[in-house]
A and B are shown apart, each in its own frame.
Chain A
């Protein structure tokens, strides 16, 4: 069976999405003909702008649901989250592919991106980011493969995948450790733990999960943690340019905890929207449990941010009326305080509608936070200003539209929501 595109499935919404995606692609082509300056307002004082803040920082954070839900289910025994695992892994995988697409537009010479594989520089946070992207996208691809195997009933390949995928994960982790540490002692220690675990699983000392190799999930979690935090590490190098409201030595930790919250919020929003789009029932009880996780993640983020502000003694800067302090309060109110209040109110926390709105606020708050770090909080030295060009926004909109279309296409044609064909291990 070949996935079929049925034209009658296309409604007005899909048509609009295609239009936005097509327009974005045309503008992206124009950028490759004439240079970044023609389609953006990026300048010598603001080398990074809307694309980095929205596509890269926020896009990756919103894909965090993939590792949080898969981790909750497989690593911590949250069997109830099972219906969510495949859709979130799909979202994360598509999210990463789209992010790479967006990066191709933002990078000056994207056709040289493979240089990161051969020219190693373990001091550079950007090197860590690049490697995490490559590694985690590979892991997500491996995690998504069972859906393809089931769709085409490739049981033999499925069995091979179960045996080989964990070793690929171990190899990628060890290679990553070599590239980022340049230290034999660390590499040997990390490799020993990973290989030891996998061997114990194979010899039956540790339970072997028939559904998904545990090593694959561990690799996904490790690369995700490193990737989310490394995006924060990027901004550690600008103590002189980033406003003190956001610049903190624990920026990587902020990026990680807020990504967990946003990723979980994305799971709720996406489940609600796809249930509505595909005409399925919303799993309220399940989403309520996800809401609890979101509640804890928000609380953790808020507590850390508050503690950081107190310890660094920048509280007074938040009370002075500047564009930055206003941006901070919008970000924290919209993304942390109000959604947390909603989730802590029993009547609201039980309602699917309020869960949806609270999660949407968390996502918007995260977008504002990442744009604040990447653009609003950055001071240009020689008086340059930056405001995104409409073409920057149109290209990003095109990429997001393409992502939604890809998600709909895969959900229609592959067993994402209901395993259509049982796995060989379970029969």
Chain B
């Protein structure tokens, strides 16, 4: 069994250089975006994830002891342990790999956008401006992991705000950092329980809602909400087939007994 990999995002260590953002764009040859200064909150640029931006440093003005300060957040795919997008996709275009990443097979995708609805972190992005659109999202650089490299964003980060490693080890590390500096962190590892647990873990010095993180995320995997309905399908089929069949047989037994069994075989054969 391969160890599940993940990323630990230590937000207080982030200096907002956007090196990860540039490295990601470079790795995947994504087009530059036309943006406006102050187009998003403060110096944040661009305003949101998009088909061309899979990794984004968010700039948040947070009041800390009476003063406005920059606090940075990071937006990217969380690589859920049981991903809602992958359970929603009708053609298995989204796949959870054993070593952690949730990847996208673009050749399978039919463009139904159900993954976008299902994702609790609002990550998958759709190419609305082309006749042949695909879904776009972070892949945790699965192709780099396959050859023993680490994700481009983690490689580029100059301050150690992004750490790549085994998920279990990263959880321990996050707990250690919070325990050794209880005043410097809030006591919440974002991604430990969200949507049943994710491979990307965030720790922060300010409450996550001040950084625009989605907090309305169920604690169980997204598939747990659809599973009961999907499990009921064979019961509905068997139940309906039996009830309708038996009901019909009982209702029409009189017609059968009266000898109304149709015998159009001669007509059928002659084709009349």
Other contacts beyond A107-B112, A112-B109, A123-B87: 14, CB < 8 A:
A107-B110, A108-B112, A109-B110, A109-B132, A110-B110, A193-B238, A207-B261, A222-B240, A229-B229, A233-B230, A237-B88, A237-B222, A249-B225, A424-B267
State whether the Cβ of A121 lies closer than 8 Å to any Cβ in chain B: yes
Q: Decide: A42 and B128 in contact? CB cutoff 8 A.
A: yes
Q: Cβ of B128 and Cβ of A35 under 8 Å apart?
A: yes
Q: Which residues of B contact A36 (CB under 8 A)?
A: 126, 128, 133
Q: B111, B116, B253, B256: which has the most chain A beta carbons within 10 Å?
A: B111
Q: Which of B148-156, B184-192, B244-252 contacts A (4 or more CB under 8 A)?
A: B244-252
Closest-CB distance, B196 to chain A (whole angstroms): 13
Q: Which A36-70 residues have a C-beta within 8 angstroms of B?
A: 36-38, 42-45, 47-48
Q: Which residues of B contact A44 (CB under 8 A)?
A: 48-50, 116, 122, 125-126
How far does the alpha carbon of A129 sit from the alpha carbon of B253 in the complex, in Å?
36
Q: Which residues of chain A have a CB within 8 Å of any CB of chain B?
A: 32-38, 42-45, 47-48, 75-77, 107-110, 112-113, 115-116, 119-130, 155-156, 159, 162, 173, 176-177, 180-181, 183, 186, 189-190, 193-194, 197, 200, 204-210, 214, 218, 221-222, 225-226, 229-230, 232-234, 236-241, 249, 252, 380-382, 424-425, 427
A-contacting residues, B117-151, CB 8 Å: 117-118, 120, 122, 125-134
- In the complex formed, the residue of A with least CB distance to B49 is A44
Q: Does B92 contact A (CB under 8 A)?
A: yes
* Closest A residue, CB atoms, query B133: A108
With contacts A124-B89, A156-B271, A214-B248 taken as known, whether A189 is within 8 angstroms of B129 at the C-beta atoms is no
Instruction: Kindly list chain A residues whose C-beta atoms are within 8 Å of the C-beta of B182.
Output: none
Give A183 Cβ to nearest chain B Cβ, in Å. Answer: 7
Chain B positions within 8 Å of A381 at CB level: 122, 214, 216
Please determine whether B230 and A123 come into contact, CB atoms closer than 8 angstroms: yes
Q: Which of B132, B133, B240 contacts A221 (CB 8 A)?
A: B240
Closest 9 CB pairs of A and B: A108-B111, A37-B128, A207-B252, A156-B271, A159-B268, A47-B113, A47-B116, A127-B90, A126-B90
Is B236 among interface residues, defined by CB-CB distance under 8 A?
A: yes
Does any Cβ of A come within 8 Å of B234's Cβ? yes
Contact B122 A125 (CB under 8 A): no
B267 to chain A, nearest CB (A): 5
B256 and A222 contacting across the interface, CB-CB below 8 Å: no
- Cα-based distance from A119 to B217 in the complex (angstroms): 29
Q: Check A109 against B91 for contact (C-beta < 8 Å).
A: no
Q: Give Cα A225 to B233, complex, Å.
A: 10
Measured CA separation A280–B131 after assembly (Å) = 47
Scan residues 40-86 of chain B and give those whose CB is less than 8 A from a CB of chain A: 48-50, 84
Nearest chain B CB to A64 CB, angstrom units:
15
25 interchain pairs, CB-CB under 8 A? A33-B131, A44-B50, A44-B125, A48-B117, A75-B247, A76-B251, A108-B112, A112-B111, A113-B110, A119-B90, A120-B92, A121-B92, A126-B88, A126-B114, A159-B268, A186-B234, A193-B238, A194-B241, A206-B248, A207-B252, A218-B241, A233-B226, A237-B88, A237-B222, A241-B117
Report the bound CA distance from A382 to B58 in whole Å: 12
In the complex where A107-B111, A226-B233 touch, is A204 in contact with B256 (Cβ < 8 A)?
A: yes
Contact of A115 with B91 in the complex, beta carbons under 8 Å: yes
- A181 vs B113: C-alpha distance in the bound complex, in angstroms? 24
- Please tell me if B262 contacts chain A, counting CB pairs below 8 Å: yes
From B129, B251, B253, B268, A35 is in contact (CB under 8 Å) with B129
Cβ of A412 to closest chain B Cβ, rounded Å: 27
A240 touches B264 (CB 8 A): no
Residue of A44, A218, A380 with most chain B CB atoms under a 10 A cut-off: A44
Q: Nearest chain-B residue to A126 (Cβ)?
A: B90
Indicate if the CB atoms of A207 and B247 lie closer than 8 Å.
no
CB within 8 Å for A125 and B226 given contacts A44-B48, A240-B120? yes
A179 to chain B, nearest CB (A): 10
**B131 CB, nearest partner CB in chain A, Å:** 6
CA distance A33 to B147 in the complex (A): 39
Mask for B154-193, Cβ within 8 A of A = 1, else 0? Answer: 0000000000000000000000000000000000000000
